[in-house]
């Protein structure tokens, strides 16, 4: 459903765009993760840069403010030798879509090879992918998907635990509005991990259990026997009486602290996509505990995963093939 433009002759990753995790096979995900590993090595070496994408143009098109993801993509593009341009577009639903389609047309005329797009509306990146010629990477659309985040989370887990299959992962917090949660649910269940979701009922979307997950309202029960505890950010505007009554009540029942974490396995690890609300969804000291927290490692893996994505989506170009559904 989420990925389009099958190119059957390209065995490793046959899609033209990366619009979501839903629809990717376990082999395709493993292929991306394996490739990412090589970019971790490169990023840790002295000479961090290749000229793989020399002469290629990557445009970061962000309709929603983001420092971390944009920077991560920018660095990934530059390390591959691409020309990277950042475009931030102020987006309000009052101005409606003229901006989206017009921007797409304008950018198309600049012949970008890859467009990295973030947009506050679910499905907007898919819509854009129908209007442009280059490859599209979804850097987060509304509450729908954030595929590179799920890939970097998976890479982080796999490096620390050696596998994904058979692990129990609890995802906690604002599932309702979270594209990170959706992409992670798709990826982890495709790879054979057991996924538990923990949130107050007001922050859980309807029929989420149909996506092959177990749902918990009680965080201690949810964390029992878990290998990974993945925390989600709770937006400020949702903290005061709209979805949860107050910050202190939320932290009391759904904030991760050492006491709740003690229900998980002794070697359970903690993740967070950032930026964190310390003292809201996660205890500050725990977030900084390098024995338990993978949060900084996630940032490092982010760059490697995005390098891998830029690499695979430009392979057909580099083989001088026409983009799209040729033969």
Partner 1 sequence: MSATAYVNARLLDPESGLDAPGGLLVERGRIADIGPRLFAEGVPDGARRVDCGGHCLAPGLIDMRVQLREPGEEHKETIVTAGQAAVVGGVTSVVALPNTEPVIDDVAGVEFIARRAREAKLVKVYTYAAATRRLEGKEITEIGLLAEFGARGFTDGLKAIANARVMRRALSYARAFDQVIIQHPEDPSLADGVMNEGEIATRLGLDGIPTAAEAIMVERDLRLVELTGGRYHAAHVSTAAAVDAIRRAKARGLAVTCDTAPHYFTLNETAVGDYRTFAKVSPPLRSEEDRQAVAEAVADGTIDAIASDHCPHDQEGKRLPFAIAEAGIAGLETLLPLSLALHHKGGIGLLDLLARVTARPAAILGLPGGRLAKGAPADLVLFDPEHPWLIDPDSFRSKSKNSPFDKHPVQGKVLATIVDGRPLYEAEV
Q: Which of 211, 247, 276, 299 binds partner 1 (CB under 8 A)?
A: 211
Positions in 64-83 near partner 1 (CB under 8 A): none
Binding part of the chain for partner 1, among 105-113, 140-148, 157-165, 256-264 by CB under 8 A, reads: 140-148
Nearer of residues 93 and 320 to partner 1, judged by Cβ: 93
Q: Which residues contact 80 (CB under 8 A, 6 or more apart)?
A: 49, 50, 52, 53, 56, 307, 310, 311
What minimum distance in Å lies between the beta carbon of 146 and partner 1?
A: 10
What minimum distance in Å lies between the beta carbon of 189 and partner 1?
A: 13
What minimum distance in Å lies between the beta carbon of 23 and partner 1?
A: 10
DSSP per position, 48-107: ----TTTT-EEEEEESS--SHHHHHHHHHHHHTT-EEEEEE----TTTTTHHHHHHHHHH
Binding part of the chain for partner 1, among 10-18, 96-104, 163-171, 233-241 by CB under 8 A, reads: 96-104
Beta bridge partners of 61: 87, 117
Q: Which of 17, 126, 194, 292 binds partner 1 (CB under 8 A)?
A: 126
Counting contacts by CB under 8 A, is residue 143 touching partner 1?
A: yes
Tell me the two tokens of residue 174: 């604002």
Per rule CB under 8 A, count of chain residues that contact partner 1: 29
What minimum distance in Å lies between the beta carbon of 279 and partner 1?
A: 28
Measure the CA–CA gap between 303 and 61, rounded to whole angstroms: 17
Q: Tokens 């290629």, residue?
A: 56
Nearer of residues 81 and 142 to partner 1, judged by Cβ: 142
What is the 8-class DSSP label of residue 213? -
Strands (E), the chain: 57-62, 83-88, 114-119, 135-141, 168-172, 194-198, 214-216, 228-231, 269-271
Q: Which of 206, 320, 326, 327 binds partner 1 (CB under 8 A)?
A: 206
Nearer of residues 66 and 122 to partner 1, judged by Cβ: 122
Which spans of this chain sit near partner 1 (rule: CB under 8 A)?
1-2, 22, 93, 96-98, 100-101, 119, 121-124, 126-127, 141-145, 179, 182, 205-208, 210-211
């Amino acid at each position: 459903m989420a990925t389009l433009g099958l190119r059957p002759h390209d065995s490793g990753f046959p899609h033209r765009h990366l619009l979501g995790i839903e629809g990717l096979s376990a082999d395709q995900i493993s292929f991306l993760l394996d490739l990412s590993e090589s970019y971790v090595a490169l990023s840790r070496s002295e000479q961090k840069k290749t000229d793989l994408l020399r002469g290629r143009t990557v445009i970061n098109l962000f309709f929603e403010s983001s420092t971390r993801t944009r920077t991560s993509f920018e660095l990934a593009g530059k390390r591959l030798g691409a020309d990277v341009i950042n475009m931030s577009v102020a987006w309000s639903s009052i101005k409606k879509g003229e901006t989206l389609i017009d921007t797409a047309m304008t950018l198309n005329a600049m012949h970008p090879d890859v467009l990295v797009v973030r947009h506050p509306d679910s499905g907007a990146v898919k819509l854009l992918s129908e209007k442009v010629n280059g490859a599209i990477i979804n850097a987060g659309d509304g509450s729908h998907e954030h595929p590179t985040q799920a890939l970097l989370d998976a890479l982080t887990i796999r490096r620390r635990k050696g596998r994904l299959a058979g692990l129990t992962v609890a995802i906690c917090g604002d599932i309702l509005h979270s594209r990170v949660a959706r992409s992670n649910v798709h990826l982890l269940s495709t790879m054979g991990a057991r996924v538990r979701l923990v949130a107050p009922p007001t922050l859980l979307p309807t029929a989420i259990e149909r996506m092959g997950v177990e749902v918990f309202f009680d965080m201690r029960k949810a964390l029992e026997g878990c290998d990974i505890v993945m925390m989600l950010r709770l937006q400020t505007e949702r903290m005061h009486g709209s979805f949860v009554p107050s910050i202190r009540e939320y932290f009391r029942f759904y904030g991760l602290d050492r006491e709740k974490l003690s229900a998980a396995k002794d070697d359970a690890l903690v993740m967070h996509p950032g930026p964190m609300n310390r003292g809201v969804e996660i205890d500050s000291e725990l977030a900084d505990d390098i024995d338990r927290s993978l949060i900084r490692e996630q940032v490092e893996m982010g760059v490697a995963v995005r390098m891998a994505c830029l690499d695979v989506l430009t392979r057909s170009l580099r083989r001088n093939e026409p983009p799209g559904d040729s033969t």
